[in-house]
Amino acid sequence: MERRAAFDEASSQLDLFVGAGGAIAARDAQDLMAWPFFSLAKRKRVRPIDFRMGEVTILVEATAEHGMATIWDADVLIWIASQIVEARDAGRPTSRLIAATPHEIMRFTQRSTGKVGYERLKAALDRLQSTSIATSIRQASSRRRHRFSWINEWRERLDGRGRAMGIEMIIPDWFYEGVLDRALVLTIDPAYFRLTGGLERWLYRIVRKHGGRQTNGWSFDIEHLWLKSGSLSPCKRFAFEVRGIVRRQSLPGYTLSLDRPLGRERLNFVAIPVDAFTAAMRRIGMRPVDKSV
């Protein structure tokens, strides 16, 4: 009862935002793509991510009950970012208080829409709500930290007869402000949701963030990538798994390669050229036409 009263009090100060639904482009927040905010493993992680690089500091802490929010849980945040950006670009008002149906989220993120999928979504919402983040990113001083959870609060919506109508979520200012900034959001390939490995998903996001559509691509030292991932795996294991991803060429929209300049292994990635029609179809979540038939 106390938790419900607290949600009612917080939500009474916000207008309710309902997403557009339908076939819209998938958008991701660049800050989340570039830095280690999520567990890359499906097994429960409680050990914190304590990351420092230059003036950037990130501390991600989990509870023993739920564990740390995973990179698969971040699909909910991608859905939220996509809905907010779509509404903003259409001139519709947005809010940190968001209403949705589980079916909308699961369909957008290409998940099973059955009972099991619904239970997994609720578990993801619990991890997103219970994971605590403190970061200097987008703060006026590197010594200043903004502390928040990915979802401040969430609850199931019921009609007058107690039947489920969907869910309501309140997202933090830090995430909301980043999504509203046009310079801090990127469109991602819907095929991202079909990537099954945590490292694969993380690698796609950082490749998309840094590689973009640059003709000459981008490259990263493997050890530097390992540090940025926040992974609990040793660097040797991390490098082994990256080599497997390079062999499979599984990241949509990019060609990967490895080399060893000066004896240090580097990952190189270059965007695969696409025609305008294919790019437009991908932006709205449709699969490109197979021209080989």
Give the β-pairing of 97-100 and 16-18. Answer: parallel
Closest by alpha carbon to 264, among 209, 237, 225? 225
3-state secondary structure of 133: strand
User: For position 133, what pLDDT does the model report?
Assistant: 98
C-alpha gyration radius of the chain: 19
Query: What pLDDT sits at residue 45?
Result: 97
CB atoms within 10 A of CB 242: 22
Please answer whether residues 176 and 50 qualify as being in contact, where contact means their C-beta atoms are separated by less than 8 angstroms: no
Q: What is the mean pLDDT of residues 104-116?
A: 92
Tell me the pLDDT tens digit for each residue of 29-68: 999 999 999 999 999 999 999 999 999 999 999 999 999 9
pLDDT tens-digit map of 234-251: 999 999 999 999 999 999
Q: What's the one-letter identity of residue 171? A: I
Cβ atoms 205, 27 nearer than 8 A: no
Distances in Å between the Cα of 2 and the Cα atoms of 6, 11, 60, 65, 224 are 6, 14, 26, 20, 45
Confidence of residue 281 (pLDDT cuts 50, 70, 90): low
**C-alpha to C-alpha distance for 64 and 2, rounded to whole angstroms:** 22
Q: Cα(186)–Cα(222) distance, rounded to whole angstroms? A: 24
